[in-house]
Structure 1
Amino acid sequence: MLTRTAIYEGTIHDGQEDTFFQRVRDELEPLWRRFPNVVAVRVQRLRSKDEDARPIAMILEMDFPDMDAIEACLASPIRPESHAATVEVMKLFNGRFYHLITEATVLAPAS
């Protein structure tokens, strides 16, 4: 399983946090869920952080079975639609977003 992660680094405009996340929920999440081959979509809203951590407002994670599935997603006609909607929502945000592709190893807790 591979995860394509978008890191939204920066800050939401003062007083616009609820509006920002409502627009993410209403406008972006439906698009993200329509991407071909996506197994799971997680939207993570920051609740707390270390004092010296970079300002991260949101993390989007999308799971795919393999790299071919990610490439099909990126070639999908949904991608430009999603990007255009993201640009509009980002008008409430000071910062940037960037993507990472990771492969996780899941470890059981020590007993």
Structure 2
Amino acid sequence: MLTRTAIYEGTVRDGREEEFFGRVRDELEPLWRRFPGVTAVRVQRLVSKDPDARPIAMILEMDFPDQQALDACLASSIRPESHAVTEAVMTLFEGRFYHLVSEVTVLTPAA
């Protein structure tokens, strides 16, 4: 399994947190869930962090069974639409976002 992670490094503009995350929920999440080949979408809103951690407001993770499915997602007609909405929502954000792709191994807890 591959996970494509988007890191939203920075901060939401003062007093705009609920608006930002409301727009993520209402405008972006429906698009992310429509991407072809995606098997899971996780949106993480940070609630605490170590004192010396970088400022991360949100993490988006999308799982794909393999590289072919990820490539289909990136070539999808939904991607430009998602990017345009992301750019509009980012006016409420001070910082940047970037992507990482990782190979995932899921471990079950020890008994």
TM-score class normalised by the smaller sequence: over 0.9
- Does residue 79 (structure 1) correspond to residue 63 (structure 2)? The answer is no
Counterpart residue number, 1:43: 43
Q: Which moved more, 1:73-82 or 1:98-107?
A: 98-107
**SS of alignment partner, residue 107 of structure 1:** coil
Counterpart residue number, 1:26: 26
**SS of alignment partner, residue 109 of structure 1:** coil
Distance in 1, matches of 2:94 and 2:19, equals: 14
Percentage of identical aligned residues: 77
CA-based RMSD of the aligned residues comes to 0.8
- Name stretches of at least 5 consecutive residues in structure 2 with no aligned partner: none
Distance in 1, matches of 2:85 and 2:12, equals: 16
Moved over 3 A (4+): none
Normalising by structure 2, report the TM-score.
0.97
One-letter code aligned to 1:13? R
Normalising by structure 1, report the TM-score.
0.97
**SS of alignment partner, residue 82 of structure 1:** helix
Distance in 2, matches of 1:8 and 1:81, equals: 19
Distance in 1, matches of 2:42 and 2:24, equals: 12
Counterpart residue number, 2:69: 69
Distance in 1, matches of 2:87 and 2:60, equals: 15
**SS of alignment partner, residue 70 of structure 2:** helix
Distance in 1, matches of 2:107 and 2:38, equals: 23
Deviation at 1:110?
Answer: 3.0
